[in-house]
Amino acid sequence: MLINNLLFSTFWGLVMKIFVDTADLDEIRELASWGVIDGVTTNPTLIAKSGRSFKEIVDEIFKIVDGPISLEVVGTTAEEMVKEARQLAGIHRNVVVKIPMTAEGLKAVKTLSKEDVKTNVTLVFSANQALLAAKAGATYVSPFIGRLDDMGHEGMQIVEEIVDIFGNYGFKTQIIVASIRHPVHVVQAARLGADVATIPPAVIKKMVKHSLTDVGIQRFLEDWKKVPK
Ligand code: E4P
Q: What integer best gives the mean pLDDT of the chain?
A: 95
Determine the distance separating the centroid of ligand 1 and the alpha carbon of 41, expressed in angstroms: 8
User: From the CB of 182, is ligand 1 less than 6 Å away?
Assistant: no
Determine the distance separating the centroid of ligand 1 and the alpha carbon of 107, expressed in angstroms: 23
The pLDDT of residue 137: 98
Handedness of CA 182, 187, 189, 190 (dihedral sign): positive
1, pLDDT greater than 80: no
209 part of the active site: no
Q: Which of 179, 180, 203 is the best mutation target for the ligand 1 pocket, counting ligand atoms within 8 Å of the beta carbon and taking the most?
A: 179
Question: d(Cα 56, Cα 86) in Å, to the nearest integer?
Answer: 19
Helices 201-208 and 25-33, axial angle in degrees (round to 10): 30
3, pLDDT greater than 80: no
Please give the span between the terminal C-alpha atoms of the chain, in angstroms, as a whole number: 52
User: From the CB of 129, is ligand 1 less than 6 Å away?
Assistant: no
Q: Tell me the pLDDT band of 14, cut-offs 50, 70 and 90.
A: confident
Model pTM score:
0.94
pLDDT in tens, 154-179: 999 999 999 999 999 999 999 999 99
Enumerate the β-bridge partners of residue 175: 141
Q: Tell me the pLDDT band of 9, cut-offs 50, 70 and 90.
A: low
Determine the distance separating the centroid of ligand 1 and the alpha carbon of 111, expressed in angstroms: 25
